A and B are shown apart, each in its own frame.
Chain A
Amino acid sequence: MSTTSRTREDIAKELTGIFHNVFDDDRIVLSDSMTAADIPEWDSLNHINLVVATEQHFEIKFKTSEVAKMANVGEFIEAIASKLQR
């Protein structure tokens, strides 16, 4: 997958696929305000799985401080976008 010129929408779309696989549920529709409270299986364990699967997919690496900060989907997308711009 090309890492250049992804729009915010592209990232959201690819992230949706990751959510579907990690939570094994194709019905999940992402929104910026969505948090762990909205997906019953989004616990600390799956949070790490999400982070690692995202890192692998986009070929990026989050810092320890960033992993803790990504509280909702909007922030997740922002974090990915800022990594990809660099």
Chain B
Amino acid sequence: MTPLYWLPQHPDASGALKQIKSLPLGPEQQLSALRQLTRHDLDFVQIGQIDRRLREIQKKLHGIPAGWTILKLAILASSTIDHLLPSIRAAALRWGILLDCYIGPYNQYRQELLTPTSDLFAFKPDVVLLLIDAQEASVSFAPSFSREDAQRFVQSRLEEWIRYWTIVKDQLGAVLVQQTLVEPPVSIYGHFDNAVPGGPAYLFKELNHALRQQAGRHKTLLFDLETLASYVGKKAWCDFPLWHHAKQIVSPLLGPLYGDSLARILASVRGRTAKCLVLDLDNTLWGGVIGDDGLEGIELGQGSGVGEAYAAFQRYVKDLKSRGIILAICSKNEEINGLMPFNEHSEMLLKREDFAAIQINWDTKAANVEKIARQLKIGLDSIVFFDDNPAERAIVRQFLPDVWVPEVPEDPALYVSCLSDAGYFEASAFTSEDNERTSQYQANIQREALQGKSHDLGTFLKNLHMEMDISPFDSVGLSRITQLINKSNQFNLTTRRYTEAQVLHIEKDPSWVTMQVRLKDNCGDNGMISVVMAKPYEGDPGTLWIDTWLMSCRVLGRQVESAVLNSLVEQALQRGFTKLKGEYIPTPKNGLVRLHYSSLGFKPSDTVSGSTFWDLDLKTFERLPTHITVHSKGKVLR
């Protein structure tokens, strides 16, 4: 089995690469073609070739193409990392991320971090990757160590690392990712190793334990290399000749897996990981075909190995739902047959209400997946399509290339590990709203039903009894604010992405006006649905400039924008501003808000390279009418 076995094989990767080079394509088309190629299972030599092509294309690009994001990644390492760069860049490409990499000089991470005039500081990274290896952790065998000695040693290592984390967060305003230590598969005492506080096995375990505890506390992300190495198997992971000869900790052979694993973290920082799992029914959630085999004929649950394998898969899917992944069904069936097991089969762990959208009909799966995306108001690139049928997978890949389509193993016993190994749902934070996500999407469908019953929109909105809570950024909202900033594409005026560290800076900076907006109504709590960030306009201190305004599409058409503007104007006036300035930067996804400012009464002022600017005179502004009751918890406004 190849390391990235869930990605489809490419029949002729070299040929495809040559084609990208020879066809008369613009750099943006070349980039898209290259991205599709990286969504295949390639070896490290092929990835090296992709990376060469990528660097050629990047030189020809003017600016960032629509739909892509750029991320400045600084890598500080205590071992040789250059051989892994192609794999890291190619894996980021898979997620639509263009990396601008800075590699610190070999094993000089201390100097780089402690010198504010270093090249690292000049580079202004978004993410700093601190790759301190087991070899660098200064773990040596100390047979006379007591438990307390071991604890002191661990503490002193951690103190040094936490100092670096603080520098990266506070001085560089970047996200820090540190790898865990790969515990070497070398024994001194045998099984007794773990009982000797001065033994390397004991010390490495304690160091990793402390890293995991402290990382959460300090908002540092972990690149869990120890877990990855265990997944591969330590014997295969540790290539001692390679280490001694070239100071490479990770074999080039494992580069593709290493890059993929790391890129998931970057994708998650940029909010590009998947949100929704679309599942087939027959031979995916149960064995057999419900329409032919009937309720008694399908295999599910206790009694057979196959039946238990499907039950285990359902349990895993249910766990994903509990952490906030939206579930949907896409099946070719008569609806009544497809739903029968949900209503009548006693071993079904997944219930109908676990699914936010259900498409059971005879349309093509590509059409149905698109319908689900529209219904849930999410992008195709945030959908994972899981179907046992290779033909259906091929069709979805062909017509919807942005959808993630793993190669589902033939044996259902391997479904769980396939979905788990593929890592589409990587998270860098868990907010309390995540486990309520499905009920929020369901409440939305209820609301739409209510709207159908109301005679006019005004009555519908009034009957919703909406209550809005507006407050400045705070530490409680930080994770969700950052998540929204990085995930919202459609109702997003400027699509500026900020890391959690940057948002924290803005929160602390009194010149910024920040708003986190939550909305409740009689169908449920929508949670945080809008974020606004504004600051004095450069060169015109009387104007408040709206850097970011975004909203969750779940609450479209509810007058949220008007209520938010009323509150923003109020705050601007209190601070002595006389004008608001808005900006719209077009992307392929935000056409929805092209006329946002115009519809709120702003006047067009300027167009600069595609972006439009809009002004609102606060002296003549009249509050916009809404059906929303607003509660604001303002900090003292100056």
With A48-B83, A67-B241 as contacts: A24 and B248 at CB distance below 8 Å: no
Chain A CB within 8 A of B52 CB: yes
Contact A45 B83, beta carbon cutoff 8 Å? yes
With A22-B45, A44-B246 as contacts: A49 and B252 at CB distance below 8 Å: yes
Chain A CB within 8 A of B293 CB: no
* Min CB gap A47→B, angstroms: 8
Q: Which residues of A contact B52 (CB under 8 A)?
A: 24
Of the candidates A24, A48, A62, A64, the one whose C-beta lies within 8 Å of that of B244 is A64
Contact B48 A49, beta carbon cutoff 8 Å? yes
How distant is the Cα of A64 from the Cα of B43 in the complex, in angstroms?
23
Chain A CB within 8 A of B555 CB: no
CB < 8 Å A-B pair total: 43
Contact B83 A49, beta carbon cutoff 8 Å? yes
Chain B CB within 8 A of A11 CB: no
Contact B44 A49, beta carbon cutoff 8 Å? yes
Contact A49 B45, beta carbon cutoff 8 Å? yes
Q: Which residues of A contact B242 (CB under 8 A)?
A: 48, 52
Q: What would be 9 A-B contacts, judged by CB atoms less than 8 Å apart?
A: A21-B14, A22-B45, A22-B48, A45-B82, A52-B252, A62-B241, A64-B245, A67-B245, A68-B245
Q: Which residues of A contact B (CB under 8 A)?
A: 18, 21-22, 24, 44-45, 48-49, 52-53, 56, 62-64, 67-68
How distant is the Cα of A55 from the Cα of B170 in the complex, in angstroms?
46
Chain A CB within 8 A of B253 CB: yes
Q: 0/1 per residue, B16-57, Cβ < 8 Å to A?
A: 000000000000000000000000000111101100100000
* Min CB gap A70→B, angstroms: 11
Q: Which residues of A contact B241 (CB under 8 A)?
A: 62-64, 67
Q: Which residues of B contact A49 (CB under 8 A)?
A: 44-45, 48, 83, 252
Q: Which residues of B contact A (CB under 8 A)?
A: 14, 43-46, 48-49, 52, 82-83, 241-242, 244-246, 248, 251-253
* Least CB separation from A66: chain B residue: B241
* Min CB gap A3→B, angstroms: 19
Q: Which residues of B contact A56 (CB under 8 A)?
A: 43, 253
* Min CB gap A68→B, angstroms: 7
Contact A24 B82, beta carbon cutoff 8 Å? no
A-B interface, 7 closest residue pairs, ranked by CB to CB distance from nearest: A64-B241, A21-B45, A52-B252, A24-B49, A48-B246, A24-B52, A53-B45
- Sample of 8 further A-B pairs with CB below 8 A, known A24-B48, A52-B252: A18-B45, A21-B45, A22-B45, A22-B48, A49-B44, A52-B253, A53-B45, A56-B253
How distant is the Cα of A56 from the Cα of B14 in the complex, in angstroms?
18
Q: Which residues of A contact B83 (CB under 8 A)?
A: 45, 48-49
* Least CB separation from B14: chain A residue: A21
* Min CB gap B20→A, angstroms: 12
Q: Which residues of A contact B43 (CB under 8 A)?
A: 56
Of the candidates A24, A44, A48, A63, the one whose C-beta lies within 8 Å of that of B252 is A48
* Least CB separation from A43: chain B residue: B82
* Min CB gap A20→B, angstroms: 9
* Least CB separation from A61: chain B residue: B241
Q: Which residues of A contact B245 (CB under 8 A)?
A: 48, 64, 67-68
